[in-house]
Amino acid sequence: MEAHCRLLCDGLRASGHDVTLFAAQGSDDPQLFPICAAPYEAVLPWAQWRGTAELLGWQRAAFAAGWEGVRTGGFDVAHNNSLSPDIIEWAARDKVACVTSHHVPPFDTIGAATERHLALPWMRFTLPSAAQHTNWQPTHHQHLHEVHNGIDTALWSPLSQRSAHFVWSGRITPSKGTHFAVRAALAAGASLRLFGPIEDEQYFSVEVAPLLTDAVTYCGHRTAKELAREVGSALGVVITPMWDEPFGLVAAEALACGTPVCAFGNGALPEVVGHCGFLVPQGDVGALAQAMRNVWRINRDDCRARAQRLFSTQSMIAGYERLYHAAVAGAAASAGDDHHAAASASASNAASTTAVLA
């Protein structure tokens, strides 16, 4: 979500918008409105404080400070990129034009807040995939829209030199199924490099580390730039989610590098990968190993073209801009300013002052 927020702010500014980011102190965004002195992880670490009244209260206070800045700041529209149900409630109460991007399934509080305020004319909501859309709202309400997450296709780009290794990247935790990728690589006789933070030490030490070899290695956590080079030179990328992925950012980044995907076909991965990889049933190590053996059959130019067509930053920004104007028009109509509502609804490229909450 942090990477998405950075890309969103940069993309909006490149399109001529005046953007203020409401986030924790420490962000290097040039127009930061700090809503708290430090990220919550530095104050109340998630692993220790998850679900506690202390963490929830701390987060709510930070978002409340941010929302007050939005409410009084004279912004045309707010883009809510957080997991806070309170922001949805406050935008509904204060009749602030607001677009909320949901990156997770409809968890209890945020799902209930969305359901309560979905029909308000100044509110719009986005989901990153058709699969997630059905998960959230099978009836497809007119205020709930699909906008694919964008990626930096300049950063994630093909390299002229390729090697014979596969890449797996992500948080090393049971929900990401890291050990399935390792087992598939061993079965296929393939070289595999694992990248990412070890989120669950016990899982890594019991399920992953004992399987590592000279050919299947853990390479630590890398920056996006470093990881892009690894993915860009890889034979393929292996993705093993044990849940329904709302989008599949790793897959989109791989395709942008011209690198085919071998994955469990959960959630949105089929619509992200398309014909540019092999999708197998969740947990089927044999099928995943066979996919890795066949990855050479995929046209790498097709992978790059698909990412540029569907997942560019420009495509994402255009999708959000349409919803900004719809939300602004809805707010104006609700206030009785029909002339301004019509003008806002017909606008497609006009710049706005935008508050992004993260």
| Contact criterion met (CB below 8 Å) for 201 and 172 | no
- Indicate if 110 and 71 belong to the same structural domain: yes
pLDDT score for 337: 60
Residue 160, in any domain of the structure: no
Q: Which residue has the higher pLDDT, 3 or 34?
A: 34
Shared domain for 221 and 86, answered yes or no, is no
Does 204 lie in the same domain as 120? no
* Residue 310, pLDDT above cutoff 90: yes
Range of the domain at 175: 165-310
Angle between helices 108-117 and 85-94 (to 10 degrees): 20
CATH at 328: 3.40.50.2000
Between the CA of residue 310 and those of 101, 234, 319, what are the distances in Å? 18, 22, 11
155, part of any domain: no
User: Confidence class of residue 352 from pLDDT cuts 50, 70 and 90?
Assistant: low
More confident residue, 43 or 301: 301
Per-residue pLDDT band for 1 (boundaries 50, 70, 90) equals confident
Cα 41 vs. chain centroid, distance in angstroms? Answer: 19
Residue 173's SS3 state is coil
Mean pLDDT across the chain, nearest whole number?
92
- pLDDT above 60 (res 341): no
One domain for residues 245 and 318: no
Q: Are 273 and 249 in contact (CB under 8 A)?
A: no
- Residue 213's identity, in one-letter code, is T
Q: Which of 242-246, 317-321, 335-339 is predicted least confidently?
A: 335-339
Q: Is residue 240 part of a domain?
A: yes
Do the beta carbons of residue 17 and residue 354 sit within 8 Å? yes
Query: What is the per-residue pLDDT for 79?
Result: 97
pLDDT value of position 346: 42
Residue 231 lies in a domain: yes
Pair (212, 340) in one structural domain: no
Identify the pLDDT of residue 336.
79
CB 158 within 8 A of CB 263: no
- Give yes or no for residue 345 having a pLDDT over 80: no
Domain boundary among 276, 294, 310: 310
Residue from 7, 132, 68 nearest 114 by CA: 132
**Residue 77 clears pLDDT 70, i.e. is over it:** yes
pTM assigned to the model: 0.88
Give percent of the chain with pLDDT exceeding 70.
95
pLDDT in tens, 101-150: 999 888 889 999 999 999 999 999 999 999 998 888 766 788 999 999 99
Least confident of 13-17, 285-289, 344-348: 344-348
* Interatomic CA distance for residues 234 and 123, integer angstroms: 42
pLDDT(178) > 90: yes
Instruction: Assess whether 140 and 187 both reside in one domain.
Output: no
Least confident of 78-87, 220-229, 249-258, 338-347: 338-347
- For 17-82, the DSSP string reads -EEEEEE-BTB--TTEEESSSS-HHHHS-HHHHTT-HHHHHHHHHHHHHHHHHHHTTT-SEEEE-S
Q: Is residue 324 part of a domain?
A: yes
* pLDDT-derived band at 50, boundaries 50, 70, 90: confident
Q: Supply the Cα-derived Rg of the chain in whole angstroms.
A: 21
Among 108, 70, 60, which Cα is nearest to 91's?
70
Provide the domain count of the chain. Answer: 2
